[in-house]
Amino acid sequence: MVGRAYLRGLPCALRLWPVALLLFLANLAAGLCVGALGWHWLDVAFDGSAATQTLLTHLELDVVVDLVVHHGESLRILLATAAVVALAFVAVGAWGDSAVAVSVTEETGLTESLRRTPSLLPAYLGLAGLTLVLQGASVAAGLVLSRSAVRWTAGSSAAMTYYAAVASGVVVAAALVFGLTTVHDHARIRLAADGSGAIGAFIWSLRFVGRHVAATLSLALLLLVTGVAVWGAYQVFAGWIPVTSRAGLLLSLVWGEALLFVRMLVRVWGFAATRDLQRRMTY
The CB-side HSE value for 180 (13 A sphere, CA atoms) comes to: 19
User: Could you tell me the pLDDT band of residue 194, with boundaries at 50, 70 and 90?
Assistant: confident
Average pLDDT over residues 196-203: 87
In this predicted model, which residue has the larger pLDDT, 28 or 213?
213
The average confidence (pLDDT) of the chain is 79
What was the pLDDT predicted at 55? 53
How many domains does the chain divide into?
1
Give the integer Cα–Cα distance in Å for 28 and 198: 27
pTM over cut 0.85 = no
Give the integer Cα–Cα distance in Å for 41 and 83: 15
What was the pLDDT predicted at 246? 72
Domain extent, residue 273, equals 2-282
12: pLDDT strictly greater than 80? yes
Three state DSSP letters for 13-44: HHHCHHHHHHHHHHHHHHHHHHHHHHHHHHHH
Backbone phi and psi for residue 242, each to the nearest 5 degrees, phi listed first: -75, 135
Give the integer Cα–Cα distance in Å for 46 and 134: 41
Average pLDDT over residues 269-281: 87
User: Residues 187, 168, 151, CA angle at the centre, nearest 5°?
Assistant: 130
What was the pLDDT predicted at 218? 92
Give the integer Cα–Cα distance in Å for 188 and 215: 17
pLDDT one-digit tens code per residue, 18-75: 888 888 887 777 777 766 766 666 666 555 555 444 554 455 555 555 665 555 666 6
